[in-house]
Structure 1
Amino acid sequence: MASLIAILDVKGKPLIQRMYRDDVPVTSLEQFIPIIYEMEEENQQIVPCFTRDGVNYMHIKHSNLYLLAVSRRNTNAMEALIFLNKLKEVLIEYFKALEEESIRDNFVVIYELMDEMMDFGHPQATESKILQEYITQEYHALEIQQQAKSLASVTNAVSWRSEGLKYKRNEVFLDVIESVNMLVNTSGSVVRSEILGQVAMKCYLSGMPELRLGLNDKVATESSRSGAKAIEMEDMRFHQCVRLARFESDRTISFIPPDGEFELMSYRISTHIEKPLIWVEASVNHFGTRIQFTVKVTAQFKRSSSANNVEIVVPVPEDADTPKFKVPAGSASYAPDKSAFVWKLKKLPGGKDYTMRAELSLPTVRSSDVDYALAAEKGQRQPITVKFEIPYFTVSGIKVRYLKTIEKSGYQAVPWVRYITQNGDYSLRTGSLPSAAARGDGYEDH
């Protein structure tokens, strides 16, 4: 697959390199950065794979480093890029951060990892949990027993899980986490919305068990035959342990899990959400050297649920100071570094609404203040952002129907399932609303 793997700094200087085959010249590394510069000068898109002078270059960039694979043969480019990403993940697992300094301080460990992860240019063991069992920063010499164990892990079809695991209590924890990305315009209409979901697991199981996970019938990648509207998942990604053929045939997610924490699958749903889960509207009024905000938050989800740790960030003019707040629930604070004030609610029950008021002083009446008011009227002011977490609730309606554990010893595992909906990029644009007298809300402007 690859003749040479190297990690280069931003100037193209090799920090570490490992030659697996001798069919490419070492000088090929010197040509990499000049080719990148040439692409930039010609305003070309910098692609992850390209060929020059009969040499194939495949690379990814992380921070200020390039991870590069070089080959002479007709290489599977996707396999090479996946390997480079796995190498990056393993090095981050070992050293917590992948930087020039961490590479210079750990040459021996990195060479050992590169030798174990690739053999004669072909990927071998790429799971960090398996590698950490016999390659450590403190002790680099490999014992014969450890080498045999590593060989079994590589050649075994289940290279992501070690054999002989034992637990006194066999448990499986499964979290269905959905993040809502949403943009709402000044009229309250949802302009953009999507759901990013993931199924995260923690497995503490003995032996080599097989798990079977079934989701509710409404969830499918295409419409059901009955004509009922199905939830169309896009960009579905599974952990390598999932048997894809089984999933394609009967929608059952069957797998032998890694030990400990891992992400089983992720997905995206480009559905139009009719109304925001949490709606925030704000009126902004200027009175000379003072500016007043009236902010109302409404929980537009079912009453049986509650949002926890709600945080509403309302932007204010950069030179505003001396804040005063009147809050019916939670607490409010001024964040000058964000040019905003933050309203925090530990709990917001479904169907409930609260209204708070904030007043800030402005140094002088300047054109900037007028521009701020005009920007508010035109919807050009920075949007209000909302953070929240709603347990026991999913926007898409995804549910776990069953989670079965099959192991030759016949033990019964205890499954725990949790649902969480949280904010992603959740922004609401609000305009300047009528003054207090015109609103008739009972507030007086002083």
Structure 2
Amino acid sequence: MTISCIALFAQEAKGNKYIALKDYRRDVAARDVQRFVDEMLSGRRTGAKGTSQVPPIVHHEGVSYVWKKGDKGSNVLAVAATRWDANVLAMQEMLHQLMDILKMFFPGGNVVTNALALSTNSALKADALRGKPAMVQSILEEAMDFGYPQVTQAESLCELVLDTPSLEGKTVSALDALLRRRKKEGAEDHKTGAPTLDVTGAVPWRKAGIVYKKNEVYLDAIERVSALVGSDGELISGRVNGSIQMKVYLSGMPECKIGLNEKFMMEAESGYQNAASSAMEGRPTNVAQKACRSQVALDYIKFHQAVKLQNYESDHQVHFVPPDGEFELLSYTVSDSRNFTLPFTVTSWYKSLGRTRGELNVKIKADFPSSLVAFQVITWIPLPKSTVKVSMQATGGKTKSKYVDLANNQTHWKLSELRGGKEHKFKAIIEMMAGTELGGTSSGEVWEKKVPPLKLTFQVPMFTSTGLRIRFLKVHERSNYQPVKWVRYLTCAGDDYEVRVKH
């Protein structure tokens, strides 16, 4: 992969404004990038409004451009350009990592909780980048060398681009405090040239000499389920986006090995049923998950760079020397509905009680073992635009009048807890104004012909829809210490978990 230059722009009402540009190979001029942004992304040539209609990879006037917009709430746009026959998907991944790095160095929320963390709710803002142009240029300079990715680890970049005595501000102070945390816990001071060793060494994502008084490993398997469910409770389409997140506080240079029950494992080899419960702290009982199978099928797996892929290809076990702190070990996708199960069966139906009244019913059943409990199960229920009053009742949960939001044409039914195997019902009587729509039909009759779907949000700890399980987690270090291991599972609703309403 060869990148000629990377540019950052601010998305504003008057167009995309230049923030910073780093030219690595001097074969794509800054004016060419600006012309691409003005003509393609700003829509001056295409006439499109915004970037929603422009593909993420564009070949424009002899140059290949890859662009990426910041996460929700961000107004930063990153553009990479090249004249070479480059791997554009690798360029896209580089932009993704660059945006994550910038979000760590320029957090919009609480600095201590956001700095050096992979999961953050703060959005990257253009004003934050404009406030420290020298640091932005330093990150672009150190992240790549002559168009090739060089350093994409936040902790290594901290020592390469941060000059703590000469910089001010709470962001630098927080980063510096996190970098000095090991010294307070007994770590040896880094020697001169450590940043260079971190970049060019065999394990650039982990520093030598880390010491913790208490060695711990936290592993979270998180799955986000997106689905379109019919009114009868049957799955129409869906997918699962999963990831394994880790927090590692281990001394020295440990080697970790994780076994998954994914589809490439032989059933006899997995040994999940015969594994001793004492082999790993945090493992649930064998009835903790109805969907658990000896094998699961994962469509796509993306590994952290620390994973030794050659070992995974040989024994299908994840071998790695972990970075210190928080990181995402791997992510995966399951798009075949036969390879995952939904945690709930939800059915709903609507019937008209007249021109100005209607009744909407919802039934939800938890399809997981009774030893598990789902939390914050909220059903978001649509309402006609002409609704003036809603009367709700349910066999469980909360149906308060304050949940009715007529301004946004919705109400919700909240179950703080729902134990596995339990079933609850909900009924809402909707009263509407007697006004008519075009064509002489009432608002209720129009809404009855096309009822919007319900939306569901939930969290189910110690459950995975795909049946993914951590068969074992082994840690080996030269000093032979025994770390404390914690393994958790969580299934929650994705951005679009919807249930159609029968009418």
Shorter-normalised TM range:
0.7 to 0.9
Residue 436 of structure 1: aligned partner = none
Question: Which region of structure 1 is more displaced relative to structure 2, 234-243 or 27-36?
Answer: 27-36
Residue 209 of structure 1: aligned partner = 254
Residue 130 of structure 1: aligned partner = 156
Report the alpha carbon displacement of residue 297 of structure 1 after superposing the two structures with TM: 2.3
Supply the AA of the counterpart residue of 1:108: A
Kindly indicate whether residue 41 of structure 2 is the aligned counterpart of residue 31 of structure 1. Answer: no
Supply the AA of the counterpart residue of 2:46: E
Kindly indicate whether residue 127 of structure 2 is the aligned counterpart of residue 119 of structure 1. Answer: no
Supply the AA of the counterpart residue of 2:321: I
Question: Which region of structure 1 is more displaced relative to structure 2, 77-86 or 262-271?
Answer: 77-86
Q: Given the alignment, which residue of 302, 306, 310 partners 1:245?
A: 310
User: For 1:231, what is the secondary structure of its paired residue?
Assistant: coil
Report the alpha carbon displacement of residue 299 of structure 1 after superposing the two structures with TM: 2.0
Residue 381 of structure 2: aligned partner = 314
Mapping for residues 372-391 of structure 1, pairs under 5 Å: 372-373=444-445, 375-376=447-448, 378=449, 380-391=450-461
Aligned counterparts of 2:89 and 2:19: Cα–Cα separation in 1: 24
Supply the AA of the counterpart residue of 1:281: S
Kindly indicate whether residue 52 of structure 2 is the aligned counterpart of residue 52 of structure 1. Answer: no
Aligned counterparts of 2:45 and 2:312: Cα–Cα separation in 1: 42
Report the alpha carbon displacement of residue 255 of structure 1 after superposing the two structures with TM: 0.6
Kindly indicate whether residue 101 of structure 2 is the aligned counterpart of residue 95 of structure 1. Answer: no
Q: From the superposition, tell whether residues 329 and 207 of structure 1 become closer, same or farther in structure 2 (CA, over 3 Å).
A: same
Structure in which a larger fraction of residues adopt strand:
1
Mapping for residues 180-259 of structure 1, pairs under 5 Å: 180-216=225-261, 219-221=262-264, 230-259=295-324
Q: From the superposition, tell whether residues 383 and 71 of structure 1 become closer, same or farther in structure 2 (CA, over 3 Å).
A: closer
Residue 9 of structure 2: aligned partner = 8
CA RMSD of aligned residues (A): 3.3
Report the alpha carbon displacement of residue 35 of structure 1 after superposing the two structures with TM: 5.4
Supply the AA of the counterpart residue of 1:16: A
Report the alpha carbon displacement of residue 22 of structure 1 after superposing the two structures with TM: 3.7
Report the alpha carbon displacement of residue 34 of structure 1 after superposing the two structures with TM: 5.4
Supply the AA of the counterpart residue of 2:498: S
Kindly indicate whether residue 171 of structure 2 is the aligned counterpart of residue 171 of structure 1. Answer: no
Q: From the superposition, tell whether residues 255 and 353 of structure 1 become closer, same or farther in structure 2 (CA, over 3 Å).
A: same
Residue segments in structure 2 that go unaligned for 5+ positions in a row: 108-122, 173-189, 270-292
Question: Which region of structure 1 is more displaced relative to structure 2, 385-394 or 127-136?
Answer: 127-136
Q: Given the alignment, which residue of 366, 371, 374 partners 1:304?
A: 371
Supply the AA of the counterpart residue of 2:149: P
User: For 1:131, what is the secondary structure of its paired residue?
Assistant: helix
Aligned counterparts of 1:40 and 1:225: Cα–Cα separation in 2: 58
Q: Is the 8 A contact 2:240 2:333 kept in 1?
A: yes
Aligned counterparts of 2:331 and 2:88: Cα–Cα separation in 1: 23
Residue 434 of structure 2: aligned partner = 364
Report the alpha carbon displacement of residue 171 of structure 1 after superposing the two structures with TM: 0.6
Kindly indicate whether residue 406 of structure 2 is the aligned counterpart of residue 336 of structure 1. Answer: yes
User: For 1:412, what is the secondary structure of its paired residue?
Assistant: coil
Question: Which region of structure 1 is more displaced relative to structure 2, 414-423 or 284-293?
Answer: 284-293
Q: Given the alignment, which residue of 20, 23, 46 partners 1:19?
A: 23
Report the alpha carbon displacement of residue 247 of structure 1 after superposing the two structures with TM: 0.9
Percent sequence identity over matched residues?
31
Q: Which has the larger radius of gyration?
A: 1
Aligned counterparts of 1:393 and 1:293: Cα–Cα separation in 2: 30
Aligned counterparts of 1:66 and 1:72: Cα–Cα separation in 2: 20
Residue 442 of structure 1: aligned partner = none
Supply the AA of the counterpart residue of 1:267: Y
Aligned counterparts of 2:477 and 2:156: Cα–Cα separation in 1: 21
Question: Which region of structure 1 is more displaced relative to structure 2, 204-213 or 176-185?
Answer: 176-185
Q: Deviations over 1:31-79 (max 9, x none)?
A: 32355258736999645252635x5544333355442334455444444
TM-score (structure 1 length as normaliser): 0.84
Q: Given the alignment, which residue of 464, 467, 471 partners 1:394?
A: 464
Q: From the superposition, tell whether residues 298 and 151 of structure 1 become closer, same or farther in structure 2 (CA, over 3 Å).
A: same
Q: Is the 8 A contact 1:177 1:421 kept in 2?
A: yes
Question: Which region of structure 1 is more displaced relative to structure 2, 128-137 or 388-397?
Answer: 128-137
Q: From the superposition, tell whether residues 318 and 240 of structure 1 become closer, same or farther in structure 2 (CA, over 3 Å).
A: same
Q: Deviations over 1:395-422 (max 9, x none)?
A: 2222111100011111111111111222
Aligned counterparts of 2:252 and 2:268: Cα–Cα separation in 1: 39
Q: From the superposition, tell whether residues 245 and 329 of structure 1 become closer, same or farther in structure 2 (CA, over 3 Å).
A: same
Aligned counterparts of 2:299 and 2:387: Cα–Cα separation in 1: 44
Aligned counterparts of 1:300 and 1:25: Cα–Cα separation in 2: 58
- Count of residues in Structure 1 that have an aligned counterpart in Structure 2: 425
User: For 2:124, what is the secondary structure of its paired residue?
Assistant: coil
User: For 2:337, what is the secondary structure of its paired residue?
Assistant: coil
Report the alpha carbon displacement of residue 105 of structure 1 after superposing the two structures with TM: 0.8
Q: From the superposition, tell whether residues 375 and 85 of structure 1 become closer, same or farther in structure 2 (CA, over 3 Å).
A: same
TM-score (structure 2 length as normaliser): 0.75
Q: Is the 8 A contact 1:288 1:365 kept in 2?
A: no
Residue 79 of structure 2: aligned partner = 68
Supply the AA of the counterpart residue of 2:480: G
Q: Is the 8 A contact 1:182 1:192 kept in 2?
A: yes
Q: Deviations over 1:149-197 (max 9, x none)?
A: 2111110122222222211111111111122222122343321132222
Q: Is the 8 A contact 2:232 2:347 kept in 1?
A: no
Q: From the superposition, tell whether residues 396 and 26 of structure 1 become closer, same or farther in structure 2 (CA, over 3 Å).
A: closer
User: For 2:353, what is the secondary structure of its paired residue?
Assistant: strand
Q: Deviations over 1:262-321 (max 9, x none)?
A: 111111222335776232424444245443333332223333322211111111112323
